[in-house]
Structure 1
Amino acid sequence: MCIRNKNTIGYNSGIKKRYFHHTADTFRDNPELIDLSLPSLDARQAILAPAVPELAAAAASKAIAEWGRPASDITHLVLATYSGAHMPGADLRLASLLGLRPTTQRTMMYLGGCASGSAALRLANDLAENNPGARVLVACAELSLVLFRAPRVDHTGTLVMQALFGDGAGAVIVGAGEDGAGVERKLFEIMSASQTVIPGSEDAAAGYLGEGGLVFCPSPKMPSLVRQHLEECLLDAAASPRELGHGWNDMFWAVHPGGPAILDGVEGGLGLAPGKLAASRRVLREYGNMSGASVIFVLDELRRRHREELDGRLGVMLGLGPGISVETMVLRSASGMEKK
């Protein structure tokens, strides 16, 4: 289901439209999802249990098809979501839907928020580098049903959340070493990956899972904290652009599109030229904030629209999530990127 933002808060979000896995019938059949006086966690969990792995499988199937090797060649699976929690996790159901081998090593990542896509890729890089021949499937699937609720009169923050978040899933395959099958086409090379925290920001992006689902309370201080401290965090996490022989504006950028104020904070804090975050702004405009899945959409947008500009160049992938945690990955785009 596609929803277009038409109210004032939606208009100010810079989001043109978003997509939702569930429809109005879901709320008609489950009135507790919007009635603040009723507990709804059980209902949300029951709906999300099959939906998360199904949405992840749709994205993963496309990634595997483009990869060109059979699903049985995948050795590790990393699945990230903030949408519900179960035992066994959505990773087991996803592995079954994809036909992965029973020996595939699975890792579930819950409630990592907007940095979870970058964190999952960092973990996948470690797995690939330390397991010769490994091929790691990373999938992020987010359904905002877990945090959807009717607003209270005194809580405009709820309206902001409903205006920003949309549903989506993304998947990539990470590997190291040579491709024995001779069919893989490298798109990006991971040069380094790290995580740090903006000092004094622990309460700036916080949430909890309760009877009414997931309550997320981003602080209005987030954009200014990002603007003030991001460059220092990047320099602590990776080599400086001068050491790499580049300036920030010489690199390409894949930034999680948390919202227009966050992107403005990144742009202002690093002195990036207009247009450097065009891929992130387009993903935000066309899909909204899909939490962990968004950064995969941004990478795809970059390689699809800017293939010639990226050819062999260095860039930075940036995830900003609860904490405020800063996930940084220095990438090099492959030479002669595939045109498909």
Structure 2
Amino acid sequence: MSPSTDTQNAKSNQFGDLNLSIIGLGTEYPPYLLDPQCLNTLVARHYPSSPALNKILTINQYTGIDTRSAIGSVDHPLANMDRAPTIAELSSIFLKDGVALAVTAARKALHEAQLSPLDITHVVSTTCTNSANPGFDHYVCKQLGMTQPVEKVLLHGIGCSGGLACLRTAANLALGSSFRGKKARVLVIALEISSLLVRSELDSANELQETRIGITLFSDCASSLVLSNNVGGEEAQPVYDLLGWDHRIIPDTEIDLGFDVDPLGWKVVLSPRVPKLAAAVVAPTFSDLLSTLPNLPPNYKEAEDFDWALHPGGATILSGVEKAMNITPEHMRASYDTYINHGNSSSATVISVMDRLRQKDMDELAPGGKVKDFIVGCAFGPGIAVEMCMLKRNMNHVRRTLVTTGDVTPPESDGNRSDGEVEDLEAEVKDLKAQGEELGEKLSEVHPEVPEQNDSLSEALNGVELD
């Protein structure tokens, strides 16, 4: 008796042994850290007091972010002109300081992969904070010294989902090479410079009295990884094996989340529906992804059986997914750590979280002290797009660190925290989980006579958490 059509379709939708491995990762944050007071400083320098700006500054104190990484301090010249910088001025800085970050992140990933830039066969990149032609990836490859023919893909219009969208695209390119019996070593690069958009966003808040609070969340970062199809030649040990992925769009949500080009940069577009929409789609996406991976061990069935590398768009995203999936902050420890210490760097953040998760001090915070072999990666972007993947961590991997000491970044730590530092992070995560309640109380104190303003502020905070 022949198999039914449903059985055949189910089998065709399953992932087999893809033989795809992430063999190197690199993250590069710039050296400056902006604490919440920095935004207050800029507003006081350049804008009169107004209800919208006061709301933004109030919310800025309760995002749960201690510091946001940036390419310059609060005194950066482009943030302190008598006007907001033009898109041309922003692009010039991006192609100088941003590309430098991306080159260093790529070098870190290549170093760990034990590869030369000349070994790379494909490059898949993304940004939502630049629109140059040729794209920034052209200049990164040039500075890396890639003279060989390289297939390049630059993804645009995908915001915070970009890191995992690049990984998915890289995987499909690598599988195409495998089908042809050819080697694929794919360099993935995500780069975002968000900090210098602050004046444009503050102009809109001041002139239109809009509560624009993306400027309280976003930061700068470059991240990179190398994906191998393990065809031909000696290979570095995998950091993660890539087992499968899922991509989908939540219908009729185009107006809810976006990042629109403007003569003075880019403008965040968000609606109050975003956190609920995102949290609601995680469970069915996770369930569908599991159904395509029948060879997982039997003890990996529920969300709590896995570690999670979730893009930390904001506090309500982290807490919303926790509640929806019945997991704990410890499952998403690297997401919390990244959010608290660096903020949201859009597409570059999720690769940074994947890099952070495999470091030793994060192991100490694992649920019940037990690190999971399998990891769910997840990010959301405009559309609303949902990207999810399944990774298997190589517990025996020894991290190879390229320490940089130039102007781009300070030297890296060895990934080990003292006992006191681990306790500090645990305390910070607990504090972050309480941010929603605390913010509501503070807003009631600030505007007790206008309850509808409190509702508006809560909606504004909830609606800005993803991109």
Answer yes or no: same fold by TM over 0.5: yes
What is the SS of the residue equivalent to 1:234?
helix
Distance of aligned partners of 1:166 and 1:172 in 2 relative to their CA distance in 1, 3 Å threshold: same
1:12, distance to aligned residue in structure 2 (A): 1.5
**Per-residue CA shift, 1:205-235, capped at 9, x if unaligned?**
1231021210112222211112223212333
* Pairing partner for 2:116 from 56, 60, 70: 70
**Per-residue CA shift, 1:143-173, capped at 9, x if unaligned?**
0146322252454532x11110000111110
* Pairing partner for 1:168 from 202, 210, 221: 221
Contact preservation (8 Å) 1:226, 1:269: no
- State the distance in 2 between where 1:202 and 1:238 align: 27
- State the distance in 1 between where 2:153 and 2:293 align: 33
Distance of aligned partners of 1:312 and 1:187 in 2 relative to their CA distance in 1, 3 Å threshold: farther
Contact preservation (8 Å) 2:373, 2:392: yes
* Structure 1, 187-196 or 200-209: larger mean CA deviation: 200-209
Are 1:188 and 2:243 matched, yes or no?
Answer: no
* Pairing partner for 1:157 from 196, 202, 211: 211
Are 1:2 and 2:33 matched, yes or no?
Answer: yes
Contact preservation (8 Å) 1:74, 1:136: yes
- State the distance in 2 between where 1:194 and 1:229 align: 12
* Pairing partner for 1:332 from 383, 392, 413: 392
Other-structure match for 1:264: 319
**Per-residue CA shift, 1:99-128, capped at 9, x if unaligned?**
113401111122321100110111111112
* Pairing partner for 2:166 from 110, 120, 134: 120
1:241, distance to aligned residue in structure 2 (A): 8.7
- State the distance in 2 between where 1:31 and 1:275 align: 45
Are 1:59 and 2:119 matched, yes or no?
Answer: no
Contact preservation (8 Å) 2:254, 2:383: yes
Distance of aligned partners of 1:70 and 1:311 in 2 relative to their CA distance in 1, 3 Å threshold: farther
Are 1:103 and 2:145 matched, yes or no?
Answer: no
- State the distance in 2 between where 1:89 and 1:339 align: 31
Tell me the amino acid that sits aligned with residue 164 of structure 1. Answer: L
Other-structure match for 1:322: 382
* Structure 1, 201-210 or 317-326: larger mean CA deviation: 201-210
* Structure 1, 298-307 or 68-77: larger mean CA deviation: 298-307
Task: Give the greater-gyration-radius structure (CA).
Answer: 2
- State the distance in 2 between where 1:311 and 1:173 align: 23
Distance of aligned partners of 1:31 and 1:238 in 2 relative to their CA distance in 1, 3 Å threshold: farther
Q: Structure 1 unaligned runs (5+)?
A: 35-39
Contact preservation (8 Å) 1:222, 1:262: no
What is the SS of the residue equivalent to 1:33?
coil
Other-structure match for 1:27: 78
Other-structure match for 2:187: 137
What is the SS of the residue equivalent to 1:103?
coil
What is the SS of the residue equivalent to 1:15?
coil
Q: Structure 2 unaligned runs (5+)?
A: 1-31, 38-56, 401-467
Tell me the amino acid that sits aligned with residue 157 of structure 1. Answer: T
Other-structure match for 2:268: 216
Contact preservation (8 Å) 1:52, 1:143: yes
Other-structure match for 1:42: 88
Distance of aligned partners of 1:162 and 1:29 in 2 relative to their CA distance in 1, 3 Å threshold: closer
Between the aligned residues of both structures, percent identity stands at 27
What is the SS of the residue equivalent to 2:219?
coil
What is the SS of the residue equivalent to 1:147?
helix
- State the distance in 1 between where 2:188 and 2:98 align: 14
Show the 5 A alignment for 1:305-316. Answer: 305=360, 306=362, 313-316=373-376
Are 1:87 and 2:87 matched, yes or no?
Answer: no
Higher strand share: 1
* Pairing partner for 2:64 from 14, 25, 28: 14
Contact preservation (8 Å) 1:52, 1:83: no
Distance of aligned partners of 1:240 and 1:248 in 2 relative to their CA distance in 1, 3 Å threshold: farther
The Cα RMSD (Å) is 2.4
Are 1:276 and 2:369 matched, yes or no?
Answer: no
Contact preservation (8 Å) 1:164, 1:288: yes
- State the distance in 2 between where 1:190 and 1:28 align: 41
What is the SS of the residue equivalent to 1:289?
coil
**Per-residue CA shift, 1:78-108, capped at 9, x if unaligned?**
1111121111111111101001134011111
- State the distance in 2 between where 1:78 and 1:19 align: 24
Other-structure match for 1:207: 259
What is the SS of the residue equivalent to 1:148?
helix
